[in-house]
Structure 1
């Protein structure tokens, strides 16, 4: 495993040394530990052996590999912290806390691997994290000074517009943009921030007063807004009975955007037009919700049918793998014919079906291991079946029969998995 790059450090500080790589334990678990005759598992360190657990579930090598994988998990967690520090993608304080916790737990860790190397690695990681924490503190100070300077520049711009600008829309949009940016600027002490905010608020209020006086002369534009909204209401009411759900819903969204862009009419007229517009919109979406509810009911019925099919599938007798495979294929074909189910049911149902398929595959594996003399013939047979179903799928796809093509592809995939298992069985004999 290659070591990650070191984390960035504060200006003027020497960069940390390149962290020492630590070997994974899974490649050679016996190098780092052993399992005695009673199943006790030991890890070797510079201070001697330490018992980390016991293994009674299988061969000693399997037990040693199990504890080695647990060591590799600790190593992977360490490497992840190193990588995050190196890329600046993690919180240095969190990395420091995590590194110390990992290091403190090594004395009691039930793992087999290079604990001495990992401890050294964690020591180096702690040093990297401490440097990163210091760098982050320095960066916050720099950020504060930059934030103050930026807000001062925004205040100066706002004050200039308040005194001079007659570009009402552009200046108004700019005030909004300044406010949006203002809210994103963090890290300033409260006293300074409040003083800058008062200056900005006064400038914005002065601009708004001048703009309000100007637009007081533009009331005649409200008549145009009323005419436009009447057109939008007429179209909304015409769409209320539409069954073209997707395009109509999209058009209602466009109408809403156009409504907002049309401007405001006199309040009484605007309120009346809005009431009509919203009533037409609500009528359409209520009808769409009812249609979707009916569809969901159909999907729910499909889910019940698949549950019943799963009850049948889970009763398949796997003591006869060939019969089990035939039964499973029939269930898979019926499964595809049932149709869609509600989104929240998809994963649980698929998981149950995968469990049945796994049980059938395991039964087939056991049969293959018991009948090695026939393994080569079985591999050839499975290979022929894969080719047969792939040909059926290609023929169905060419004729435009998508459903039959998908069924054949599914069967080909199933036989391909069995073929791979059979080939592996032949290789492992």
Structure 2
């Protein structure tokens, strides 16, 4: 049933339609009762009624309806020509527009709009095929990219998770998950079956890694707890040494070895525990520092006394009489011991070393004197000297006889032997 359209009370002025201005007689007509018809081929079709206006106003109204449809077709053609719009979307819109134009209550060349839409749809068909190929390629690439991510996390899960660096592994898994989400959000939509299969692989591999991480940190927590317990016990023992003062230092050093072997308790816990353990040791070493300071103050006059003895001991080297030199040194050594211990020990050792040089020099002199004055040594030396003197006299005779006879070879051998015997005699002091 044709629509009955009353004239608007105060319709705004509209631009003249090309159809209304030039082609209204070709495409539309109005009967005496205000019925508006549109020509479609050789037939006329009723599009509505406009009883309250003139025939021109009635045609103009339905021409504007046609112009709206023509504008939509033109806009669709422009979007296709300008690019950027999906051919599939444009095709869908064209099909909807065909439905809208078919039997439309409008006056104009509706057949031409149908023809333009048909031509546009045919043109879009090739574009849709190209889009489909491109979409397929994008999906295939997305599947390949997603598979790379899945295989990467499966490779992580296949490692010996008891020996990995978990900070590094956690960063790797987080990066792979971020990549997965980015591909899912920004990439093409994958077929549901493939997408679910890939996600299951990714999820299962990540679950393996998460399980390994939880096991590692659970074991690490137990290890840290055991180390904390051991170190707390060591702290209690170290703090109990405080009343012993300096005498507690050897025991504290033993506890320090145990501390090094106790293992790690976690960075924060270790720092706090070490602060307590070190404080207990600092108290012992502070007591030793106080004792050392007192000992050093007490040692000052002792140091001066030993320095004075060193000055006196210099006379030992100048004393020609070895017995008197030994007596002088013995007296100095006795007084040296009577001075008592000196602190710090390094200074005591330095003073002892200086006295030891004087002692060693005297000892060397005594050894030389003993060798020189030992009766047995003297007897052996005298016997050897006599033998050498006898040999020398014999060689002198042989040398004279060889020279007299002109035997140069015998003379040279006798001279060489004579020179050697004289050197030995001089070495014996003969």
Please report the TM-score for the alignment, with normalisation by the length of structure 2: 0.38
Q: Which has the larger radius of gyration?
A: 2
Please report the TM-score for the alignment, with normalisation by the length of structure 1: 0.38
